[in-house]
Structure 1
Amino acid sequence: MIAAAGEDDSLGRDNDLLWHLPDDFKRFKRLTSGHKIIMGRKTFESFPKPLPNRLHIIITRDKNYKVSFPDCIVVHSLEEALDLVNEEKAYIIGGGEIYRLGEKYADGIELTRVHGTFNADTFFPPIYATVWELVAEEYHPKDENHEYDFTYRTYTRKNNEAINLGDSNN
């Protein structure tokens, strides 16, 4: 999974990001280019056009939903999306519901922790220390191009057991 989330796990509001972090966009592009990206329909529709050099797997409950772009595939469940991945590296890129459903399948999290709290309607699931191990971290102070301090954090799953997130409020 790959995401940028505030200190309160906020992701976005009204299907839009809460911040503009150019260096985080560059990192997202570098990490996901050449790979399959899995997302919900609303996340896909928040893009002006499909992201280049990535196969988009779009999850929707709408059986009639169609996309006319060549690098986009529409599926109707996360499991159907994962069946298209095989053993390849892929990234779950959102939104909140897709992250919540996908966490039990993920073997890693690339999280940009934005140092602030935000008025959001979509949230990243909590990262439990019993499940995830922080293996790398890089701090980025705010500057003329970045309104907020943020830290890149890389997590790996501590074990291969999936967790039950049914009790999550996010």
Structure 2
Amino acid sequence: MNTITMIAAAAQNNALGRNNDLLWHLPDDFKRFKKLTIGHKIIMGRKTFESFPKPLPKRTHIIITRDTAYTVPYDDCVVVHSLEDALQLVSDEDAFIIGGGEIYKQGEVFADVIELTRVHGTFEADTFFPEIDSDRWALIAEEHHPKDEKHHYAFTYLTYTRIGKPLKI
């Protein structure tokens, strides 16, 4: 069985980004994202994909867009036109939903795990992570990282599992 994990970094007000860009620079969070997602398929909206300078190495990118003419010139990228189409491509393997805001909203009902980096601050944003419903999600792990010379904000890694659905990791 496969595990669908939503992975994100969101501020205390659930802010994710603004103008298709991140609101903070957290090198340790980037390392964790890479460690967790490398070798897996990553599902994202078109705007999230276009926010990267190039595809992330050693991951298959599944890009969701309503634009039926949209193409990308990379072998490690697949274009689909709905989240359901994306999920069919990962029906027998672990995969990560990596954004943006609308894809997270749609993906929450399909996810088994949420790996959330909670950035300690509030930010002006145009994209937000959905509110985590404590009736549906159980916090099973947290690890705090204080502000330091490489990180302008303190943050906490939070791992949630869906309540009532057996964990398949």
Interval of TM-score (by shorter of Structure 1 and Structure 2): over 0.9
**Are 1:74 and 2:83 counterparts?**
no
Instruction: Give the match for residue 56 of structure 1.
Output: 61
Could you tell me how far apart the structure 2 residues matched to 1:19 and 1:159 are?
A: 34
Letter in 2 for 1:88: E
Could you tell me how far apart the structure 2 residues matched to 1:137 and 1:18 are?
A: 22
Alignment size in residue pairs: 160
Instruction: Give the match for residue 39 of structure 2.
Output: 34
Cα distance, 1:87 vs. partner? 2.0
Could you tell me how far apart the structure 2 residues matched to 1:123 and 1:87 are?
A: 29
Letter in 1 for 2:15: S
Cα distance, 1:149 vs. partner? 0.3
Could you tell me how far apart the structure 2 residues matched to 1:87 and 1:129 are?
A: 28
In structure 2, runs of 5+ residues without a counterpart are 1-5
**Are 1:102 and 2:107 counterparts?**
yes
Instruction: Give the match for residue 134 of structure 2.
Output: 129
Task: Report the TM-score when normalising by structure 1.
Answer: 0.93
**Are 1:89 and 2:109 counterparts?**
no
Cα distance, 1:29 vs. partner? 0.1
Could you tell me how far apart the structure 2 residues matched to 1:94 and 1:110 are?
A: 12
**Which gives a bigger RCO, structure 1 or 2 (Cα 8 Å, sep 6+)?**
2
Cα distance, 1:86 vs. partner? 1.3
Cα distance, 1:14 vs. partner? 0.2
Could you tell me how far apart the structure 2 residues matched to 1:102 and 1:137 are?
A: 22
Cα RMSD, aligned residues only: 0.4
Q: Percent identity?
A: 73
